[in-house]
Amino acid sequence: SQTIHQWPATLVQPVGSPLSLECTVEGTSNPNLYWYRQAAGRGLQLLFYSVGIGQISSEVPQNLSASRPQDRQFILSSKKLLLSDSGFYLCAWMPRQIYEQYFGPGTRLTVT
């Protein structure tokens, strides 16, 4: 069966510090991968998605970036965090042509 991992579960970072969140999927190959951000009590904002290694589509211009160095690995990064970057970051994967997304447990980021 397929499993998606995200870490860390919670993170508190000062403004201006770098960020690296990692997501990995097991039990499947060549999935679509997604990064979402959710503010408290709000909906899901799509940040990035990837349909293959090295292929990244950005949905929201901001100080975040994403990379997919391996087929089942998706990384979200920032060089300098802003207060507005606080939120619940969710990674998701989708089997090709199935159009059902499966979410990881998420990372709660607080920028202080």
Partner 1 sequence: GQQVMQIPQYQHVQEGEDFTTYCNSSTTLSNIQWYKQRPGGHPVFLIQLVKSGEVKKQKRLTFQFGEAKKNSSLHITATQTTDVGTYFCAGTFSGGYNKLIFGAGTRLAVHP
Residue from 14, 29, 41, 69 binding partner 1 (CB under 8 A):
41
Give Cα 77 distance to the centre of its chain: 9
Q: Is residue 27 a contact residue for partner 1 (CB under 8 A)? A: no
CA distance 13 to 58: 23
Q: How far is the CB of 97 from partner 1 (least distance, A)?
A: 8
Q: What is the DSSP string of 41-93?
A: T--EEEEEEEEETTEEEESS-SSEEEEEEETTEEEEEESS--GGG-EEEEEEE
**CB closer to partner 1, 3 vs 17:** 3
- Chain positions 80 to 109 lying near partner 1, rule: CB under 8 A, are 90, 92, 94, 97, 99-106
Residue from 49, 66, 87, 93 binding partner 1 (CB under 8 A):
49
Residues that bind partner 1 (CB under 8 A): 32, 34, 41-44, 46, 49, 51, 57, 59, 90, 92, 94, 97, 99-106
